[in-house]
Structure 1
Amino acid sequence: MEHYKNLGGDSNVVAYEIEAGEITVQFGDGSIYLYTNQSAGAASIKEMHRLAKVGQGLNSYIGRVVKKGYAKKIR
């Protein structure tokens, strides 16, 4: 997984992994969630990819838009 830059300084996201049509996100409590085109929608996954690469806004986007739209909780 790639370290999340956290440019805003207050994100609960610590790492992510981008694959075609999906993103895996690790949070500060150690939990890891897989989000896919099927679970969250292709537009949301595309935006999550963008926010992850920028290093800002991913945690708030998940909380505001994606919410519980994950495919599975890995850990």
Structure 2
Amino acid sequence: MERYANLGGDSGVVGYEIGDDFVRIQFSDGSIYLYTYASAGANNIEQMKRLAQNGQGLNAFINRHVRKAYARKER
């Protein structure tokens, strides 16, 4: 899991892992959610990858666009 840069300073996201067709997100409460092409759509996953790597805007994007579109909660 990569550490999320959190350039805005107020994100609930602390880490992420990127795969070909998924993004795994770790939140500050320790929960980890898996978002996939199948669950959230390819365009959303690709945007989440960009935001994760840029270190800003990921938490807001998740809340606005894919909040409950995860494939599974892992922890």
TM-score of the aligned structures, taking structure 2 as reference length: 0.99
1:48 and 2:48 are equivalent in the alignment: yes
SS at match of 1:8: coil
Q: Which runs of 4+ in 1 moved over 2 A?
A: none
- How far apart are 1:67 and its partner, in Å? 1.4
The residue aligned with 1:6 is 6
The residue aligned with 2:20 is 20
Within 5 Å, which residues of 2 pair with 1:60-71?
A: 60-71=60-71
Q: Percent identity?
A: 61
Aligned length: 75
Which whole-Å deviations, capped at 9, do the CAs of 1:7-48 have from their partners, x for residues lacking one?
Answer: 000000000000001000000000000000000000000000
1:35 and 2:35 are equivalent in the alignment: yes
Q: Which runs of 5+ in 1 are unaligned?
A: none
TM-score of the aligned structures, taking structure 1 as reference length: 0.99
1-side partners of 2:47 and 2:61: how far apart? 9
SS at match of 1:53: helix
RMSD over aligned CA atoms reads 0.3
SS at match of 1:23: strand
1-side partners of 2:23 and 2:67: how far apart? 14
